[in-house]
Structure 1
Amino acid sequence: MLRSARGVPAGDDWLDLHAFTLDPRYPADYVVINHYISTHPNSPFVGRPVARRPDAEVLYGLTGTALTARRADGTVEERLLEPAEVPKALDEVFGIRLGPADTAALVTRLT
């Protein structure tokens, strides 16, 4: 049985953002997947911050320094942030608060 979560607005409709099955999974399955997405050079999560936060009317996204808001009506707002603005966006938009050391490391990585 396939389940999905609506999450990406597309005009008058929403597209699936995630899908999953009720088939059993084992710890080894997660080890392999987690290793790939956290280390492989082709993974979209290596070398840049990635965050998503959906609410009833908008999907907020941060990829690198690009902050987007995708609305249910199909409009998309995108703003490129300066590296020093990214920790503030993570806090205010996504509720992710970084400590001073992580903030400094992130800004250095994005610069």
Structure 2
Amino acid sequence: MTSPSDAGLQAERTGLAWSRTSLGVAGNAALLAFRELQQAQLTLALIPASLALLIAIATAVYGRRRTRALRHSPLPVPLAPSRAVPLLGWSVAVLAVLSGIALIV
């Protein structure tokens, strides 16, 4: 049970979490792209950068939709997130592995 002073803050915390995640993934995309463009060559290592940019955009869009849904009364049924959350989570995990491989190669 939430306290009266916490009422309505769930949507704000959710929005901030989605924003942080999309910003982190976008930063990953920028760093990977910068690394490749700095070497003045276009290689397959730009694929993780492009993937990261797509994931960042998808995360920002879904996060905005989720935050809007939580701000409305009554709350959506079911309240649990859809398949998009595990999909985005796995996408970020795969991106982390691909980024690591791109940095090693």
State the TM bucket, normalised to the shorter chain.
under 0.3
Higher relative contact order (CA 8 A, sep 6+): 2
Higher-strand-fraction structure: 1
Normalising by structure 1, we get a TM-score of: 0.23
Higher-helix-fraction structure: 2
Normalising by structure 2, we get a TM-score of: 0.24
